Amino acid sequence: MKTVAKTGNEAMAYAMKQINPDVVAAYPITPATEVVQIFSNYVADGEVDTEFVAVESEHSALSACVGASIAGGRVMTSTSSQGLALMHEILYIAAGNRLPIVIALVNRSLSAPINIHCDHSDTMGSREAGWMHLYCANSQEAYDSLIIALKTAEATAVPAIVSTDAFILSHAMERLEVLEDSDVQNFIGEYRPRFSALDLENPKTYGPLDLQDYFFEHKRAQIDDFSKVLDAYDKAAKDYAELSGRYYPALEEYKTEDADVAIFAAGSTADTAKEVVDDLRDQGRKVGLVRMRMWRPLPVEQIKKALTKFKAVAVMDRSDTMADFGGPVFLETRGMLYDSEEKPLITDYVYGLGGRNIKLTDIARVYDDIEQVAKAGKIEKLITYLGVRGEE
């Protein structure tokens, strides 16, 4: 283990180097460009054995990854925003073919208007594609998560997206600890695909036509396998904790034991919110934080157990559903808690779209609001667009 200073992009590229995948096919896009660029330097310098495929688009990038994965390779790529949108079609093909490809992603808004900064619209727009999604709070976590995600993906044949917040994490240098190459290799082990197109003794058909007769059974089986990801993830995360001393549960609770109210948030904002929690706790206020790290599959039981103990919860959504009903985390959280006898009053705060800075005082104000909701026992305003000009 050694201490280094790295940006989120450098941290993810370094994890990719230590994973040493068989194939990386990628097309650069801001702010994930550096992941690809740094990794291609590792390739050029002979520090990895990877076949690096420079393609002409993200659609091609993921298509090449699909081919390489069907051939039995350990495969990774990197993208962001419009790039993920262009991969959208192939996301489903990778997942449906049970190909454990891992994407090092940087969360960035989607056009229009054109913007290169952080929000979660890109991955939230792909949450039904059958991929595991992990949202990271800092560079250390981005590095660690990529390794844990790869292990989980290969154990379950479910592909994974690990993401950082654009610029806030991708371009911010932080101090982190990295493992030795050999420790990473021992942890992930040798990849043994269940099927391989190169296994000529056992020829198979990949990606065939599958109509009314069997498509539904195959989809049902995929959904069933997806439900096993959470357990596989938890095992990988615990094994990783033994190796590194750092444990990342699918859902993290911070100072929630005696809290009356809590914020439910993801990414770098959740890390920042911990600072606010500490500050408010110093004032004697019973506030807590629940951090959404894994959003596919949903850790439903963990979320229910965590959130039902509060009087009021503020969901913080860094994207919107365009359903005129707030963000996706809000909608799904309300759905999950619908059947619970004891449940909190839940409000939504859509924030930080297109990289709008979220200040400590913004987060403190959300705590002020939900304390008021808890006290009044009713919700005055269900959905708030936090920090938008002309809104409040």
Partner 1 sequence: MQQYFEVRWHGRGGQGAKTAALLFGEAAMETGKYIQAFPEYGPERTGAPVKAYNRLSDGPIRIHTQVTDPDVVVVLDASLLESINVTEGLKKGGAILVNTQEKAEVIKKKLGVTDAKVAVVDATKIAVEILKRNVPNTVMLGAMVKVTGALEWDSALASIEAKLSEKFRGRKEIIEGNVKAIKKAYDEVEVA
Binding footprint of partner 1 on the chain (CB under 8 A):
3, 5, 7, 31, 116-117, 137-138, 165, 167-169, 171-175, 268-269, 271-272, 274-275, 278-279, 282, 357-360
| C-beta closer to partner 1: residue 360 or 382 | 360
Residue 111 is classified by DSSP as S
| C-beta closer to partner 1: residue 144 or 271 | 271
Specify the 3-state DSSP secondary structure of 180: coil
DSSP states of 234-280: HHHHHHHHHHHS----SEEEES-TT-SEEEEEEHHHHHHHHHHHHHH
Specify the 3-state DSSP secondary structure of 281: helix
d(CA 161, CA 293): 12
Specify the 3-state DSSP secondary structure of 90: helix
| C-beta closer to partner 1: residue 359 or 375 | 359
Q: In what order do the strands lie in the sheet with 160-165?
A: 51-54, 23-26, 75-80, 102-107, 160-165, 132-135, 294-296
15 sits in the region (left: phi over 0; alpha: psi -120 to 50; else beta) called alpha
d(CA 87, CA 29): 13
Nearest distance, CB of residue 316 and partner 1, angstroms: 13
| C-beta closer to partner 1: residue 22 or 279 | 279
| C-beta closer to partner 1: residue 131 or 143 | 143
| C-beta closer to partner 1: residue 154 or 165 | 165
Nearest distance, CB of residue 227 and partner 1, angstroms: 33
| C-beta closer to partner 1: residue 63 or 268 | 268
Instruction: Give the strand pairing for 345-350 and 312-317.
Output: parallel
- Give the DSSP H/E element, type plus range, for residue 374: helix 360-376
Both tokens of 202, joined, read: 């056992």
| C-beta closer to partner 1: residue 126 or 164 | 164
d(CA 161, CA 351): 22
- Which sign, positive or negative, has the C-alpha torsion 142, 147, 153, 156? negative
Please report, to the nearest 10 degrees, the dihedral formed by the alpha carbons of residues 181, 187, 190, 196 taken in order.
-120
d(CA 258, CA 74): 45
Beta bridge partners of 343: none
Specify the 3-state DSSP secondary structure of 26: strand
| C-beta closer to partner 1: residue 138 or 302 | 138
Nearest distance, CB of residue 86 and partner 1, angstroms: 22
